[in-house]
A and B are shown apart, each in its own frame.
Chain A
Amino acid sequence: AQTVTQSQPEMSVQEAETVTLSCTYDTSESDYYLFWYKQPPSRQMILVIRQEAYKQQNATENRFSVNFQKAAKSFSLKISDSQLGDAAMYFCARRGGSGGSNYKLTFGKGTLLTVNP
């Protein structure tokens, strides 16, 4: 099974501090793509960051960065200088690289992040 596992149902962080959300996945494909989405109470799923599996360099987007360990099938998200607006449910997701699997975005169960002032 092509699964995505987020082992932390809930996390909390103090404003301005750094937090890391964990994600591991299982796949038999050599080509695939990884994403982190956030879903605030407003309900919209917002793309935070993406990583192509063939790229060794870790993706960064402003305060957000990933630690992609392909051999370990690990894809953690680091949020630096946490802000109150970062509070949301965070989903790790994997998308296949070819054929029908490309359309299927497999989500982890999510990590609810609370940011304390």
Chain B
Amino acid sequence: DTEVTQTPKHLVMGMTNKKSLKCEQHMGHRAMYWYKQKAKKPPELMFVYSYEKLSINESVPSRFSPECPNSSLLNLHLHALQPEDSALYLCASSRVGTVSYNSPLHFGNGTRLTVT
């Protein structure tokens, strides 16, 4: 069983739709991440939240809007996506702090997104 839960597992949306991906963890981690993964490629970092504040935005288009309402939840709001945005979206979490620099990322099972 994964300790990071992502919903939905699969999502098909049109280019004019608005949808949201959700991620939840209860490990007490204060850093949460969104990654995008295309088929047979490594994950690419999109956003990092640390203590519920956006720390890193890897120049992601504004049609992707992250939100961290509390320390356990992370959302990714999607609007006006393009077919090339179809991918596996992975959420991850980790500890934060000087004593936790080697803290590994714990990943969820991902949401398989298809944009039609």
Contacts and interface: CB of A to CB of B under 8 A. Distances in A.
Interface stretch (A15-23, A38-46, A62-70, A72-80): A38-46
Instruction: Report the contact-size class of chain B (Cβ under 8 Å from the partner).
Output: 20 to 34
Contact of A97 (B2, B92, B101, B106): B101
Interface residues of A, number: 26
Nearest to A104: B45
Contact of A110 (B42, B56, B92, B112): B42
Q: 5 tightest A-B contacts by CB?
A: A107-B42, A45-B107, A33-B102, A44-B109, A103-B48
Interface of A: 31, 33, 35, 37, 42-47, 50, 52, 89, 91, 95, 97-98, 100, 102-105, 107-110
Interface of B: 2, 31, 33, 40-43, 45, 48, 50, 55-56, 88, 90, 92, 101-102, 104-110, 112
